[in-house]
Chains A and B, each alone.
Chain A
């Protein structure tokens, strides 16, 4: 069937490409949208609180919870020994993520036991009454320490193409350097929360704020020692996810479920902000070393990158996350002769996890730093060095993992953006400003993004949907994707409206539920609308085909004479409303419910040889950021941003714009104000918004221009030729980091590279400024 919408005069309301507001918008603004903590609590609902380890590493000598159990209002206390099934909530079967500490504590903040009580206050008070004795063991807290001690959660991995050692050594120019990249807390406004309601036969229903209901289901069943079919997980919406509710939701769901099963009462576990930030994983921090050989013109001839990521105490998703950092250590650039190696460091800190971009941003930061280093060394505009190294041209389209880049548009985006946002002219204006201003310095940078779309674990690229059409013609839509604010539900509903040619209001968007669509993948990897849109369309097409066949037979016309047009159906000379046809089909015993399924085509990857086609396609974008820094304090301010981003043919342009803008600001926060700070004991000191600073309203630049690329179209047959948009825009904010380093470099007339680690806090910027002044003086 063609992808284009019906062409006859009347149009449905809410088909694809319409700029519709979020389906829950009116409920958000009126407070009527229900989050897990807003669901009326069943009578006698218990509240569960976890007690945390006060040491980063140690052996549990004694854990006496008798005083906890005896405290007022306590219904039950849960320790590792109370877990009937497996004490593990690891996502990939590594069996290294205990629900409650058993024998050894692995990080400061790890749950030792949990208390379920009549109120959260009673539970909190009781949780302080345990007698805990932990024999301290030496903790490993940093990447350097883990590397020195050979402490890893998984084996290192290498991608290699060509002969990088020789190429680097033989190149006319060579540079080595290092960059440290900080982690990031998700800071979803709604913290982790689960409400477990016990049923008969030991079954349990868990309302859980999660991006991965199926995995929560598996983990709850595993912990309870019950089959998967005893556990149902449901989520209508999350108050933000950003990757933080993919694997990190299971532990709290399992503890709530365990308390519910033990007591026969509903049990809720909601982490308050501090507990959430201390006990749940974050974006991985990285240290990367590079050794690059290049021509006098700044073209890379050989490159070695060695990265190390702090994974925390367990593997979680670190395997795939660090792989994705490696997959994006090329960004938009052809790397001739390249080796990328990455280490997965095991540390006595909270286990790091998925976060929008999933390692990709860190990999991209590394290669963009390499580019800028080359530019400074050659005295070239960094944009010029970027251009010279882009994919494209004969023999310059193969990635370090042997995938051919077939859909490259980075060059077009860069040129269009540079022209429209007056990059060259502004660079001159900034140089003039800097010459006149001794204290404040401006900087500018354009950085592109190429982001691979698909789960690199190939089997995850599958999705399911379930559609019912009721006899009044109204439609119930369900699929495995979850809504965390990104607008997935409205996009998929638009796809279904388009397919049936009925108004969007006729379609009921419903909560994700493991009993409706099973064995789903996480709503992650930006894949939500690509995969669930396709699965929902498949389900709709099944029903539509049945209706078509029925109408053809009933009205004695050919199937080709049956057409769905704007809430009407035509069958030869007969015309009726969609609802009338549905009713007629029902009376003639036609099945009006169908499942749909989708598996992403073309992809394959062999990790042993680090080669294949892990991505169905790439999403592209480019951004220019202009900043000013204060050379006396290191403060910085983003003054202007221009973005051109390719979302293919958008399913909903306003939703996509929201993703681009929001992703950019989130990335800007990661690279500027958001600093995670642990003390020497391994205690996270930045565990609340008072100390952990995500962007505020005034941090949004005064001048902020975002355009979706009009010429964009997915070369692959994705849902209505759209492109994924969830993660890629976050990396547009790397332009902010480079604009800042450009401003620092201005102190050397742009000749020296700023030694600036991320996030570029005032303290780091001031240090880079002082270092730059000293080096310039010595030059």
Chain B
């Protein structure tokens, strides 16, 4: 096994060993490299001041993605190119077009969020398409600015132009691609320092062997949750097994109406596969975390961490998804809703790991997801309702309804389902199902919402679903496709 992390910092190769494997990329940059352009604003991946861009070979081509350096562990850089705000200026000292656009549009005031914004914009620029407001918002949702009100930043994003092909230097993509290929990171990474053992196997077989050997290891994929255990709870993790380099877990395929999402597939990659098949689920996914979070975080992780307010589980439960769990050579398959036993308790044995999620696409088109939170973008859900209700000849043929934020786990609304199934799809039936939701859920009050609000909204989401399916011309959404605020026209034009 290999005991050094290999990556490119700009255009300089780094080979690092003997450092704390849970050191964050941000601390590495600021403390070890003295590159202080990248800032710490929150240390939890919510403000974006720490945004850096990772270049990686995907199918042989170099692709840039923005991530939060504050919650990424240093070994996650293995085999990648790390670009920071310090790498953008030209050899002649001239500002990069993104930087120039920001200055010219007056996109900085206090300047503390600016390096992160510049890096998110660089990644957006690298996508190369024309930029409408929605795309800019999505790319920048994870970059909070407290000074400008975002207008000048949006203007800068519109004016920054296409990615220039730098010849030589850190932004030379041809050079970076060939050098990344030469890093030779096919061998499993095994690190140990500061009381943490860290493994990043590169094959499913090795992962299975390591989890059997270390049954109580902390499994980490995108680190968008586990990262906070270190930066917020100041926990010492040992041992850590990263699933991020396991090629088999990146599998994303459709066959016989079944979507298989490997446990290592990021939200952003899954989003591309889901967008055409389940538009409402795609809109939900667009609102999960931020671009930086979706570039790192995985659907597998969102399930395996068992959070009662993870957004994917209710939607996937409503679709009837199942999980593939592996322990050594043993594989079992269980319905997703049975995975969540109680708060903080999942049906995963020591040494077992999530290999894939199987999502039947039969009902993907009729799935409706409703996320309610204080802020539309990059906010944790107060209530999430996912409705998979089949109506034939005015009668509810089947109903799979799941909610997030309503119980200690993502949970099906079985009483409401029963109140609907076999009944005419009418207001009276919906009223009965609304009543039944009180049997299904006794939510709690916390800083996101009160118990009373949660139940009221859960009921109203069912009503919204009824209106959307029976009077589809009614405007029911403020954001997203068909939403009032994304009409493309100013509201009073």
- Judge whether A405 is part of the interface by a CB distance below 8 angstroms: no
**In the complex the two chains form, what is the Cα distance from A21 to B104 in whole Å?**
7
Interchain CB contact (< 8 A) of A29 among B108, B154, B375, B456? B108
Instruction: Assess A29 versus B118: contact at CB under 8 Å? Given A689-B42, A697-B141.
Output: yes
CB 8 Å contact bits of B357-368 with A (1 = contact, 0 = none): 000000000000
Beta-carbon contact of B106 and A242 below 8 Å: no
Residues of B within 8 A of A27 (CB): 111
List which B117-138 residues lie within 8 A (CB) of chain A. Answer: 118, 133, 136-138
Interface 1/0 per residue, B199-213 and A, CB below 8 Å: 000000000000000
Our pick among A31, A241, A437, A677 for the contact of B474 (Cβ within 8 Å) is A437
Q: Quick check: is B278 within 8 A (CB to CB) of the other chain?
A: no
- Asked whether any CB of chain B lies closer than 8 Å to the CB of A707, the reply is no
The complex places the Cα of A696 from the Cα of B142 at a distance, in Å, of 8
CA distance in complex: A636, B373 (Å): 11
Given contacts A242-B146, A675-B374, contact A273 B478 (CB under 8 A): no
Q: Is the CB of B136 within 8 A of A22?
A: no
Chain B CB within 8 A of A429 CB: yes
B47 sits at the interface (CB 8 A): yes
Write the B5-43 contact mask toward A (1 if CB under 8 angstroms, else 0): 000000000000000000000000010001111111111
- Summarize B's interface: helix, strand, loop or mixed: loop
Interface size classification for chain A: 35 or more
- Contact residue among B109, B374, B493 (Cβ-Cβ distance under 8 Å from A693): B374
Judge whether B460 and A633 touch: CB under 8 Å.
yes
Interface size on B, residues (CB 8 A): 95
Contact A426 B449, beta carbon cutoff 8 Å:
no
B339 interface residue per 8 A CB criterion = no
Is there contact, CB below 8 Å, between A630 and B478?
Answer: yes
Q: How far is the CA of A658 from the CA of B147 in the complex (A)?
A: 8
Assess the B47–A189 pair: CB atoms within 8 A. yes
Q: Is the CB of B86 within 8 A of A31?
A: yes
A29 cross-chain contacts in B, Cβ below 8 A? 85, 95, 98-100, 102-103, 107-108, 114-115, 118
- A665 lies within 8 A of chain B by Cβ: yes
Expressed in whole angstroms, the minimum distance between the Cβ of A264 and any Cβ of chain B is 23
CB–CB B478/A422 < 8 A:
no
User: Which of A239, A698, A763 has the most chain B CB within a 10 Å cutoff?
Assistant: A698
Contact yes or no, B106 A658, CB < 8 A: yes
Contact present for A240 and B485 (CB under 8 Å): no
Q: How far is the CB of A661 from chain B (nearest CB, A)?
A: 4
Does A632 contact B108, Cβ atoms closer than 8 Å?
A: no
CB of A493 within 8 Å of the partner chain: no
Q: Mark A166-204, 1 if CB is under 8 A from B, else 0.
A: 000000000000000000001111110000000000000
Judged by a CB distance under 8 angstroms, whether A700 is at the interface is: yes
Give the interface centre of B110, B150, B375 by most chain A CB atoms within 10 Å.
B110
B149 close to A762 (CB less than 8 A): no
A681 within 8 Å of B (CB atoms): no
- Are A439 and B474 touching (Cβ within 8 A)? yes
Measured CB to CB, the closest approach of chain A to B47, in angstroms, equals 5
Find A664's partner among B35, B95, B149, B375 (CB 8 Å cutoff): B149
Cβ < 8 Å to B, chain A residues 2-19: none
Residues of B37-59 at the interface with A, using a CB-CB cut-off of 8 Å, are 37-44, 46-47, 49
Out of A21, A640, A688, name the residue touching B492 (CB < 8 Å): A640
Check: B229 CB closer than 8 A to any chain A CB.
no
* Chain A neighbourhood of B49, CB < 8 A: 189
| CB contact between A662 and one of B109, B456, B477 (< 8 Å): that residue | B109
- Whether B149 lies near A637 (C-beta < 8 A) is no
Q: Which stretch from B163-171, B214-222, B377-385, B414-422 is at the chain A interface?
A: B377-385
A655 / chain B contacts, CB cutoff of 8 Å: 106
Given contact pairs A239-B39, A632-B460, A689-B42, A703 touches B490 in the complex (Cβ within 8 A): yes
- Min CB–CB distance A283 → chain B (angstroms): 14
- Interchain CA distance A695-B375 in the complex, whole Å: 8
| From B44, B99, B376, B379, contact of A273 by CB (8 A) | B44
Are A31 and B37 touching (Cβ within 8 A)? yes
Chain B, residues 480-493, CB within 8 Å of chain A (1/0): the string is 00001110001111
Query: Which of B136, B374, B485 interacts with A697 by CB under 8 Å?
Result: B136
Shortest CB distance A336–B (Å): 36
Contact segment of B179-187, B269-277, B389-397, B461-469: B461-469
Task: Tell me if A237 is interfacial: C-beta within 8 Å of chain B.
Answer: yes
Residue pair A658, B112 in contact (C-beta under 8 Å): no
B110, A689: Cβ atoms closer than 8 Å: no
A274 to chain B, nearest CB (A): 7
Report if B341 contacts A (CB, 8 A).
no
Q: Does B475 contact A (CB under 8 A)?
A: yes
15 further A-B pairs in the complex, CB-CB below 8 A; given A189-B112, A486-B109: A22-B108, A35-B112, A239-B112, A421-B492, A485-B111, A633-B372, A639-B484, A658-B147, A675-B374, A689-B44, A690-B380, A696-B378, A697-B143, A697-B154, A703-B490
